[in-house]
A and B are shown apart, each in its own frame.
Chain A
Amino acid sequence: MIAEKTGLSKADSRLVMSFMWVTFISLLIGGLMGLLQTLVRTGNFNLPFGIGYYQILTVHGVILGLVLTTFFIIGFQFALMAKTVGMTNKQRKWAWASFWVMLIGTIASAIMILLGKASVLYTFYAPLKAHPIFYFGLTFVVVGSWIACFVNFHQLYQWKKKHQGEHSPLLAFMVVINMLMWFICTLGVAATVLIQFIPWSLGLVGEINILVSRTLFWYFGHPLVYFWLLPAYMAWYAILPKIIGGKIFSDSLARLAFILFLIFSIPVGFHHQLLEPGIDPMWKYIQVVLTFAVIIPSLLTAFSMFATFEITGRQKGYTGLFGWFRHLPWKDVRFFAPFMGMVAFIPAGAGGIINASNQMNQVVHNTIWVTGHFHLTLATTVILTFFGITYWLVPVLTGRKIDKKINTLGMTQTIVWLVGMFFMSGSMHLAGLLGAPRRSAFSDYQGSAQAAEWIGYQYGQAIGGSILFIGILIMLYNFFYMTFKAPKGVEEFPIAEAPDGSEPTPLVLENWKLWIGITVVLIAFAYTIPFVDIIQNSPPGSPPFEWPIGNG
């Protein structure tokens, strides 16, 4: 009975809520680190107790970029699957297993970082060497996420057996696409960690092949960012239309967009390695072309979003060119936060196209511009959408209802976030164009006049960072209030439907073997020759280096 009313059973709610707790604890820890970083980079704040800048930078990257994201996404996707295709008790046991394996891995790696034994940042580039437990911890997080992958696959598989010939629910289709992409791409990072990093860091192997490890990492690194983005797209395509009182613009286009992401987000890793030696420039350019192909589904999504808003507005009787826009539910935070995430995706997408533009990458590579870019894509577009989801998901999970107070606080949080990010990411973009490096503590670069120009922007980043931290505190209060204090009641689990009478979705979109086949073929095409070339022309490998990061 409860399941019908709140849309999620007590058991499912407890499972998903555990993922939410890890998400928001991570938000506090990782966010505090970020605040400290911006203060240190102004040049007049020193970290207490001899804590290293690069240690807290590692905590910031791992806790927010890997832990917060993965836990929220897998928890949110369990909620979507339980709601649309159901979850058996056996599947829930495996889901809990994925939670605990991921949590143990997270704690293990976090301890090593806090002990200062793993200040290698969240990309852990060799030959800097962290404590082996750091690498084991990350492996556990990935293996735990694989368990979640197979639970989701099994959930859809069982639903389709009971619904022969029917289309899978849109949200279930999207979750499985995202988890398929995640599983295929994590094979790369698992390979480099298990075959290279762990034996090398244990001393079983003397040298590590640097370019092979980086290529395997970035085979995983770009789909990782789409693993973060696609859950936000799930909310935009299939949840937001319900919140604004409308229908999905086109079920088929939504599925096509997700299929294009599956196909094009993996054979593109070289656009993170454009300025590295040892990779043939022809193959770098080929993967730049494939990277531009992955922009197409985002163009599709932009059109679908505006079309959804316009059709909904016109059906409600608003006329004129932009009547539909003026009458969107601006006061509803469940819409306002994700919409602001969409707005941020415009400069974010523009920056992405610039970063991936082959030789143009020389203008911005490894400058603070890149940091500004992913603080727009992940830390605004994705995070504001995740916050927007939280305002209905947590009440659903705790059997409560969001009230006027939380909606207002949520609106405030979104605005505070935007103002803070405008200062921080804006300053990062401008300083980056002037050449300011990323991943760097404060330094006057021995009196360099250019470096003196960057300091003003670093103050701008500190102002933005402080405002953002206030935004984090507000969001934490919202989370606690919705968990413990909000009035009891039934919060709607908003799932949008396609308009009745719309064309049936072509069955080819459900042909999993076809799309997985194309994905594998594209990966083989984009990587086989250059990867074999890299291995054949490899120089002697590198021994581990611990002293540069303050160990041993």
Chain B
Amino acid sequence: MPSTNLKHQVEQEHSSSEPNLKGTLISVSVVGGFLVLSWLAVFGLFLAR
């Protein structure tokens, strides 16, 4: 039985110790923001004309 606990424990450690990707989230959000803003800008142009 203990072996499964061990495996379970290892898995828990693995998932809880996800790499710290805060910088990544911020960077891709900046990219996402740019995509949305440029789309809205040209859509505004489409509605204005």
Residues of A within 8 A of B (CB): 299, 302-303, 306-307, 309-311, 314, 321-322, 324-325, 346-347, 349-351, 353-354, 357, 359-360, 362-364, 433
CA–CA, A324 to B26, complex, Å?
13
| Closest chain B residue to A350, Cβ basis | B38
CA–CA, A302 to B27, complex, Å?
9
**Contact present for B39 and A357 (CB under 8 Å):** yes
> What are the residues of chain B within 8 A of A314 when measuring CB–CB?
19-20
16 additional contacts (CB under 8 A) given A350-B35, A433-B42: A302-B31, A306-B23, A306-B27, A307-B24, A310-B20, A311-B21, A325-B23, A325-B27, A349-B35, A350-B34, A350-B39, A351-B38, A357-B39, A357-B43, A363-B46, A433-B45
> What are the residues of chain A within 8 A of B22 when measuring CB–CB?
321
Helix, strand, loop or mixed for chain A's interface?
A: helix
**Contact present for B24 and A306 (CB under 8 Å):** yes
Residues of B within 8 A of A (CB): 19-24, 26-28, 31, 34-35, 38-39, 42-43, 45-46, 49
Of listed B20, B31, B43, residue having the most chain A CB within 10 A: B31
CA–CA, A299 to B32, complex, Å?
9
**Contact present for B38 and A321 (CB under 8 Å):** no
Q: How far is the CB of A479 from chain B (nearest CB, A)?
A: 32
> What are the residues of chain A within 8 A of B43 when measuring CB–CB?
357, 360
Using A325-B23, A346-B34 as known contacts, say yes or no to A363 and B39 having CB atoms under 8 A apart: no
**Contact present for B35 and A359 (CB under 8 Å):** no
**Contact present for A306 and B28 (CB under 8 Å):** yes
22 contacts between A and B (CB under 8 A): A299-B28, A303-B24, A309-B24, A310-B20, A310-B21, A310-B24, A321-B22, A321-B23, A321-B26, A322-B23, A324-B23, A325-B23, A346-B35, A350-B34, A350-B38, A354-B38, A354-B39, A354-B42, A360-B42, A360-B46, A362-B46, A363-B42
**Contact present for B46 and A307 (CB under 8 Å):** no
Using A354-B39, A363-B45, A364-B42 as known contacts, say yes or no to A347 and B23 having CB atoms under 8 A apart: no
Q: How far is the CB of B23 from chain A (nearest CB, A)?
A: 5
| Closest chain B residue to A295, Cβ basis | B35
**Contact present for A346 and B31 (CB under 8 Å):** yes
**Contact present for B21 and A353 (CB under 8 Å):** no
